[in-house]
Amino acid sequence: MATTTSLRLGSACATLRADTAKAAHSLNGATVVKAAPKRLQLRRPGAARAAMMEAPPVPMKSHEEKNLPHIEQIKALSLVTAIKTPYLPDGRFDIDAYDYLVHHQIENGTEAIIVGGTTGEGHLMSWDEHVMLIAHTVYCFGDKLKVIGNTGSNSTGEAMHATEQGFAVGMHAALQINPYYGKTSVDGLIQHYKAVLPMGPAIVYNVPARTGTDLTPDVIEELAQHENFAGVKECVGNERVSAHTSKGIVVWSGNDDQCHDAKWKHGANGVISVLSNLVPGLVHEMLTTGPHPELNAKLAPLTKWLFLEPNPIGLSTALCQLGLVRPVFRLPYMPYNEARRREFVDIVHNIGLEHFIGAKDVRALKDDDFHLITRFY
């Protein structure tokens, strides 16, 4: 695996407008790539080139009018994909590959995507990059699906600023994680959410395995009183899903291995899914056409494989092996080992390659095929 230090000039918004007029030199044995800013035309997949995209608009203040969907449109969503962010070898976003992935989500019935979530590696982005990607997604796809920006933070002020910027560039809703690492009290949690909820529709994200803090049903019930509370992405389990839905709270399962039963036995609206990056059509079928225990069982080996290591390692490895994204990883993420990469090929053939996004080919990549990026902004 090759490791590269990649350093870019200017903000990520400038990078989106940049063509690749590059100058490279050596820094401690690593390649440093500098990009001179020019304009880059962004394309809708399958369409003529779109108009030039300048830097996102100046963020609106919280008191300004926002062109937001009615909260009920967010609450009605069933299949939401936490979309992957692909990279170029120098560490920048691969916008063409990203557009391809989103386009196929739309073609297979996905109703919304999470931009820059855990799966999309938002925590490895600068906020400039993050807001730029939200803006690009809205600009190219916002009329086809709902764009939900992961603008939460463990800093209330930072979450407010990022959420304000996200709504300014047109996102339809925000995904809001609770403060992590620097944990706070229950009262602090509630005040944090009361600061960000007035900005627009929000899905609260409860994933204590990552944050170290569980948003208990009592906390969620209090937050649900706010008019901009759309629902909760719940990762604790299906008993917790039932605890929420019994009180009329909208829930999306955050666990692909539990989403079938969450939907059909526990009252969840659907899932915010990693699995649907690979087989969106099958996940859509499983969630919209009645209980499908056989299909759920058929997908179980793939779901298990995806989470052998912390997400998004499995998904990124899988998309590389399907030839849909370049085999580039931003550290600290690294691909699965070769044995697990060979297992994925067998799983794909057992399910049927025709069900996978792109349906091109699948192969087990070698270690030398992968490129690891250390510094990328």
How crowded is the C-beta side of 93, counted as CA atoms within 13 Å? 35
In degrees, to the nearest 5, what angle opens at C-alpha 127 toward C-alphas 165 and 88? 125
How confident is the model at residue 5, as a pLDDT?
A: 53
How confident is the model at residue 2, as a pLDDT?
A: 74
Among candidate residues 84, 146, 233, 263, the one labeled active-site is 233
How confident is the model at residue 31, as a pLDDT?
A: 35
Among candidate residues 193, 205, 263, 336, the one labeled active-site is 205
- How confident is the prediction for the chain on average, in pLDDT? 87
How confident is the model at residue 360, as a pLDDT?
A: 84
* 75-112 per-position pLDDT tens digit: 999 999 999 999 999 999 999 999 999 999 999 999 99
What are the DSSP calls for 80-148, one per residue?
EEE----B-TTSSB-HHHHHHHHHHHHHTT--EEEESSTTTTGGGS-HHHHHHHHHHHHHHHTTTSEEE
Residue 205 annotated to the active site: yes
How confident is the model at residue 41, as a pLDDT?
A: 37
Cα R_g (the chain), whole angstroms: 20
Provide the residue ranges of all domains of the chain, joining segments of one domain with +.
Answer: 70-373
Q: Quick check: helix, strand or coil at residue 173?
A: strand
How confident is the model at residue 3, as a pLDDT?
A: 67
Q: How far apart are CA 251 and CA 204, in angstroms?
A: 10
- In the CATH hierarchy, which fold is given to the domain comprising 70-373? TIM Barrel (3.20.20)
Cβ pair 159, 131 in contact under 8 A: no
* 123-154 per-position pLDDT tens digit: 999 999 999 999 999 999 999 999 999 999 99
Residue 233 annotated to the active site: yes
How confident is the model at residue 34, as a pLDDT?
A: 34
Positions in the chain short of pLDDT 70? 3-67
